[in-house]
Structure 1
Amino acid sequence: MATTLPKVWLITGTSSGFGRRLVNIVLQRGDRVIATARTLVKIDDLPKSSNLHCAELDISTGTENVEKQVVAAVTAAQALGWDTIDVLVNNAGVGLPSLLEEGGAAKMMIQYQTNVFGTLDVTNAVLPYMRKQKSGTVVMMGSRSGWRSEIKVIGFYGSSKAAIHAISETLAVELEPLGIRTLIVEPGAFRTENIYIHPFAESNAIADYNEEREKSIATWSLPAGKQPGDPDKAMKAVVEVVCGEGRAKGKEWPLYLVLGKDADRDIRNKCARMIRHLDEWSDVVRDVDLDEIAS
């Protein structure tokens, strides 16, 4: 009987949160992990294992630097005899709270540099290895915030996750003929660390927003430690889907993996609101085609 080789996972953002938990779960099932973080000191307390290789990867440093860091990490893993990258998990990301006008394009660029451009840089650096072997799985960490961007002060973050959602849908159809799968994970609120570590942007305070800003600052981090989601259960679900095990066994590849009752609720509400709009405004929506030219 053929022996199934352990998968090799490259996981970004493993210093805390989903990434750290995913490393532990993957190691427990006997697979191999290239765990990355901005600095090695942040992950030097990960469990010691011959199946773990730690590497520095700062996805916000620009395309050329990201590619060099990814190649270095993969080359070091290959020296250990790990000749493939079976799964890429784009988990690294940040959330920068700000009112949109006060943060402006400058804050938007900082947010997108990590969550969108950096994620795409990592993906593009890993894809040549997957294309060569004609197999692989790319996991993109989205967020229910991409569906519920009406929440105040997360406009930059929510829009970055909506961008990842849209990019990933295109990526999925581009990669499928090459034997590479894409999974878009859409989690709700989970009890992870460091979600609220970034300070609220106040350097460009506009007087008209003073009351709104003060309320937002006072309530920004209140959910910390009260989120309903269990991050360990969430990452176990990701592993089940990627590996076709447990509840995912025998099911078709989902493309989307929504996690959390709150995410379920918010996505259903958004879809229902759009359907209502299409129904209520159908006379306008459907009445803008060019008039037929009389024959």
Structure 2
Amino acid sequence: MSSPKTYLITGTTSGIGLALVQQLLSQSQNVIATGRNIVSRFPSDLVTSHPDNLKLLELDIASPLPHLQSIAAQAWDLFPGGIDVLFNNAGMSAMKPFEEASEEYISQIYTVNLFGPMRLTQAFLPLFRNNRKGVTIAFTSSSSTYTPLPFMSHYSASKSALSTTITSLAKELLPFHISVLAFECGGTVTNLGQPRQSSLSPSPSPSSLLSPPPPPQETPYAQGITSLITMFTRDPPAYMPGSPSKMAKTMVSVINKIQKGEKVPVRLVLGSDAWESVNQNLDETQQVLQEWKHVSWGTDRDGVKGGAEVDYLRAVSIL
């Protein structure tokens, strides 16, 4: 029987993060579960029933890089042999009209969804590069990278930037045998839309709309945001078909494939709603590209042959 792998997972107090912990423990893997106020918020029954292969570690993804570097060094020694999988799962979401978003809100959502995972990954990379066995860095992203909704521009933009970063990072780390991938999830019932601080009080996201929320404050955008919230609350299971436990099981299965040397996409869409909406987006994008090709190609300098060089296309290929 092969020895257990060690996972460090962020955002494990609920939702997909907690489901990942439960799935891995059921497979007798080692898990470092992290989050803010992790000891008080994490299910105590899991801690008592898995004393040997579950460790809790306080980690706020919004911390500066030097602090995350010290956390990485501490985490590395919690299980023999270091860490095999870093799973950047923590995130936040909210509905907010673009015009009304405060600097605090914008800074926080980008820090939690983008800058935090980037910094934590930076903190672990020296440890991973010096580790001679193959390791995996996984991220929970969103299908909204392809299909941004109105009133969720900051969330979608932060996740789009994350997925773009992951696509580039995966190519940078190939020579070091470090695998990188993003799971771009559709609607899933989690606590993703809950505010990190009560002072921010963002409106609920599609991920947390299980019951009708109070009506938004009267603003020029009240009708639009109410219409969107009403769409989700009309039939929440239809708009959020994703199961956290099934998502987690699939994520672990895909990572296992990587560790067996199988090839998987750098960006993998999860959820039937995500697949259909992304597929529609790609069809529409192709239609727009073809209809407006003459405009796009008409901006080249005179005398050039046009198009991209073969080696450039190879460098940017997602396959």
Regarding TM over 0.5, the answer is yes
Shift, 1:213, TM fit:
4.5
Q: How does 1:71-150 map to 2 (within 5 A)?
A: 71-75=73-77, 77-78=78-79, 82-134=80-132, 135-149=134-148
Q: Does the 8 A contact of 1:102 with 1:206 survive in 2?
A: no
**2: distance between equivalents of 1:289 and 1:193?**
47
**Aligned partners of 1:189 and 1:45: how far apart in 2?**
28
Kept in 1, the 8 Å contact 2:33–2:57? The answer is yes
Match of 1:260 in 2: 271
Question: For structure 1, which runs of at least 5 residues remain unmatched after alignment?
Answer: none
Distance change >3 Å, CA 244–CA 42, structure 1 → 2: same
Amino acid corresponding to residue 140 of structure 2 in structure 1:
M
User: Amino acid of the residue matched to residue 224 of structure 2?
Assistant: E
Describe the superposition over 1:121-149 as per-residue Cα deviations: whole angstroms up to 9, x where unpaired: 11111222211113200001110111111
TM-score computed with the length of structure 2 as normaliser: 0.81
Following superposition, the deviation at residue 167 of structure 1 comes to: 0.3
Identify if the C-alpha distance between structure 1 residues 164 and 222 changes in structure 2 by more than 3 Å, giving closer, same or farther: farther
Gaps of 5+ in 2: 196-200, 204-216, 305-319
Residue identity opposite 1:171 in structure 2: L
Partners of 1:249 and 1:178 in 2: CA distance:
16
Q: Superposed, which structure 2 residues align to 1:103-252 within 5 Å?
A: 103-134=101-132, 135-149=134-148, 151-190=149-188, 192-198=189-195, 199-200=201-202, 207-215=219-227, 227-244=240-257, 251-252=262-263
Going from structure 1 to structure 2, the CA distance change for 1:177 and 1:208 (only over 3 Å counts) comes to same
Deviation at 1:177, TM superposition (A): 0.7
TM-superposed CA distance for 1:108, in Å, is 1.8
Q: Distance in 2 between matches of 1:172 and 1:250?
A: 15
Indicate if the aligned counterparts of 1:91 and 1:141 stay in contact, CA closer than 8 A.
yes
CA distance in 2 between counterparts of 1:282 and 1:260 reads 32
Residues in 1 aligned to 2:231 and 2:143: alpha-carbon distance in whole angstroms: 19
CA distance in 2, matches of 1:221, 1:74: 43
Alpha-carbon distance change, 120 to 167 in structure 1, aligned in 2, over 3 angstroms: same
Q: 1:104 to 1:277 in 2, by over 3 A?
A: farther
1:51 alignment counterpart = 53
Change (3 A) 1:120 1:26: same
Structure 1 residues 218 and 265: alpha-carbon distance in aligned structure 2, compared to 1, 3 A threshold: closer
CA distance in 2, matches of 1:91, 1:122: 11
Give the drift of 1:220: 6.7
| Structure 2 partner of 1:280 | 291
- Alpha carbons of 1:42 and 1:243: their partners in 2 closer, same or farther (altered >3 Å)? same
Q: Is the 8 A contact 1:137 1:180 kept in 2?
A: yes
Residue 44 of structure 1: CA displacement?
4.6
Residue identity opposite 2:281 in structure 1: K
Coordinate RMSD, CA, aligned: 2.5
State whether residues 97 and 154 of structure 1, in contact with CA within 8 Å, keep that contact through their aligned partners in structure 2.
yes
1:6-85 counterparts in 2 under 5 A? 6-39=4-37, 40-45=39-44, 47=46, 48-49=49-50, 50-75=52-77, 77-78=78-79, 82-85=80-83
SS of 2:242's equivalent in the other structure is: coil
| 8 Å CA contact 1:196, 1:221 repeated in 2 | no
Percentage of matched positions with identical amino acids: 30
Equivalent pairs counted in the alignment come to 282
Deviations 1:234-271 (A, max 9, x none): 111111111129xx988522222211111101111111
- TM-score of the superposed pair, with normalisation by structure 1: 0.87
Runs of 4+ deviating beyond 4 Å: 213-226, 248-251
**Taking structure 1 as reference, are residues 46 and 225 closer, same or farther at Cα in structure 2, changes over 3 Å only?**
farther
The match for 1:271 among 273, 279, 282 is 282
Closer, same or farther in 2 for the Cα pair 1:217/1:242, shift >3 Å?
Answer: closer
What amino acid sits opposite 1:229 in the alignment?
Answer: G
